[in-house]
Amino acid sequence: MENVSGPPRDDSATRATRDIRLLPKAHLHLHFTGSMRPTTLLELADKYGVHLPDALTGGEPPELRATDERGWFRFQRLYDIARSCLRSAEDIQRLVREAAEEDVKDGSGWLEIQVDPTSYAPLLGGLIPALEIILDAVDAAARDTGLDIRVVVAANRMKHPLDARTLARLAVRYADRGVVGFGLSNDERRGMARDFDRAFAIAREGGLLAAPHGGELSGPSSVRDCLDDLRATRVGHGVRAAEDPRLLRKLAERGVTCEVCPASNVALGVYEKPADVPLRTLFDAGVPMALGADDPLLFGSRLAAQYELVRKHHGFTDGELAELARQSVRGSAAPAGTQEKLLAGIDSWLLDG
């Protein structure tokens, strides 16, 4: 449970006067297909004759509860159906442009979008063409919107570790085209982290940051495995580290950023309600956090909504929200000049309030 005892952490009396959308921030946990607008999914499904289940057409986020096998299968099935609607370079370009537009509205000044190109390769001409189409779309969206966008290539832990090595080599090959990190996604209860250690070594040796998923559907041990076996720079989610004080100290001492996605934690049944997500525990322990939207197509809320959730359900003051934004910037792969600009904007957000 979260720690709410002790004196106020910020002497600012204005808890909810500043517009969260105007707070500069970095977005470090956004999945490719999951970033799609619901209206775009409906249009693409109609274009390709894809039948969408009610859970993807009803306007309300589906009830997922992926903490059991049936719930995870339901989540994965919905994601796969949505992904099947992305069939051309034009579809990819539209998705990335619209994701960037949504991020700009929410105050993002830096976006790292996560993608497994093998998922799109069958419809886009192969693995290399798929990644090049994605990177071209990122370049175009950055020009159109002014948002700095980079890519984290993610392996699927449900597949063979040799596949992950192939992806790691590909990611390194395109490091000069906008790939900044290497991840490991899908159900963290499957596949041992250490089985993917060589893939992450390839990525690190190629200058990419390591950002595997851990500590959401599985407990603190999965976060520890990310640190010890994969030498993670960041951990996707990581919230279950709150159950282990020694692990919290380790994360804080190493400065490992947890990409916390509170809305998805609740939607997937990891926590019953927003107030149960242990954000305050991580924050008070000095663990850097970067709030993320994860899969807004399925979870129903984008980046700014995560900050609003923290404000509403955890009592974070504007000063503390600004510190969360700073942590997201510092945990990003953004170059020093971009980080300085965003950090100055965060300071201005506080002063102008």
115 vs 322: CA distance, rounded Å: 28
pLDDT (0 to 100) of residue 84:
95
pLDDT number for residue 216: 87
Please, are residues 317 and 349 in contact by the beta-carbon 8 Å criterion? Answer: no
pLDDT at 346: 98
Measured at the alpha carbon of residue 343, what is the angle toward residues 337 and 347, in degrees to the nearest 5? 145
pLDDT the model gives residue 7: 36
Look at residue 70 in the predicted model and tell me its pLDDT. 65
Contact 332, 30 (CB under 8 A): no
Q: Supply the pLDDT for residue 62.
A: 56
For residue 139, what are its two tokens? Answer: 């370049």
**Active site residues per annotation:** 216
User: Residues near 6 by Cβ (< 8 Å), separated by ≥ 6?
Assistant: none
The CATH classification of domain 20-352, taken from the options 3.40.50.1820, 1.10.150.120, 3.40.50.720, 3.20.20.140:
3.20.20.140
Q: How far apart are CA 193 and CA 8, in angstroms?
A: 39
Q: What is the pLDDT of residue 1?
A: 39
Cα torsion 143, 299, 311, 188 to 10°: value is -90
- Closest listed residue to residue 117, CA positions, set 78, 171, 176: 171
**pLDDT per residue of the chain (353 residues) written in tens, 0 to 9:** 344 433 344 444 444 589 999 999 999 999 999 999 999 999 999 999 999 988 888 665 555 655 555 667 788 889 999 999 999 999 999 999 999 999 999 999 999 999 999 999 999 999 999 999 999 999 999 999 999 999 999 999 989 999 999 999 999 999 999 999 999 998 777 778 999 999 999 999 999 999 999 988 889 999 999 999 999 999 999 999 999 999 999 999 999 999 999 999 998 889 999 999 999 999 999 999 999 999 999 988 999 999 999 999 999 999 999 999 999 999 999 999 999 999 999 999 999 86
- Predicted confidence at residue 59, as pLDDT, reads 60
Quote the pLDDT of residue 76.
Answer: 84
